[in-house]
Copies of this chain bind each other. A is one copy, B any other.
Amino acid sequence: MNDTPEVAVLRYGHRPGRDDRMTTHVGLTARALGADRVIFPDNAGQSQETVEDITERFGGPFEVELTGQLDATIREWEGSVVHLTMYGERVQDVTGDVRETHREEALLIVVGGEKVPFEVYEEADWNVGVTNQPHSEVAGLAVFLDRLFEGSELERAWKDADQRVIPQERGKRVVDG
């Protein structure tokens, strides 16, 4: 976002059909809350299409990629890696360190879908729990991004949008561009 090093979100695992909406929501949340890019498993082409369609209509920049190499993407990432998991360290304890590191280098945020292998816990620089309670990978990602960017993502300007929503006390207002 803006002139800071890249933030990419990696959706680890996807079951076509069953996970379509969750994977799409991971992508849309990544885009709306300040990430630069989302990487989906290569069987999540339908979610890719949806997120690209939203980006075309509501603006970018935001990239959506597919990969057949989830593990290699993590292992070879040039920068630091956060893995969001309910078993990890408390978000309120470690986000400051992550933010500090992100001033200097790109950040990959891994969001689990299906069972995440132990190697991911080992490869990650931080395993982070947005609470140590079971809830939602989408909710965890959202809170983590909002805290990482300290709310500045809410002020983001969008380029090349076909339409724009104007905040309203009541009802809906959408304008061109």
Q: Which residues of A contact B (CB under 8 A)?
A: 21-22, 25, 28-29, 31-33, 54, 58, 86-93, 118, 121-122, 127, 129-136, 138-143, 146-147, 151, 153-155, 158, 164-174
Which residues of chain B are near A132, meaning CB under 8 Å? Answer: 164-167
A27 to chain B, nearest CB (A): 9
Q: List 5 A-B contacts (CB under 8 A).
A: A32-B133, A127-B168, A133-B165, A138-B138, A140-B142
**Given A31-B135, A139-B139, A167 and B88 contact (CB-CB distance below 8 Å):** yes
Residues of B within 8 A of A93 (CB): 167
| Cα-based distance from A167 to B155 in the complex (angstroms) | 32
Q: Do B172 and A87 touch across chains, with their CB atoms under 8 A apart?
A: yes
Q: Please indicate the chain B residues that have their CB under 8 angstroms from the CB of A154 in the complex.
A: 90-92, 131
Q: How far is the CB of A55 from chain B (nearest CB, A)?
A: 10
Please indicate the chain B residues that have their CB under 8 angstroms from the CB of A169 in the complex: 88-89, 127
Q: Is the CB of A134 within 8 A of B170?
A: no
Q: Is the CB of B127 within 8 A of A31?
A: no
Q: How far is the CB of A87 from chain B (nearest CB, A)?
A: 4
A165 close to B129 (CB less than 8 A): yes
Q: Which residues of B contact A91 (CB under 8 A)?
A: 154
B127 touches A136 (CB 8 A): no
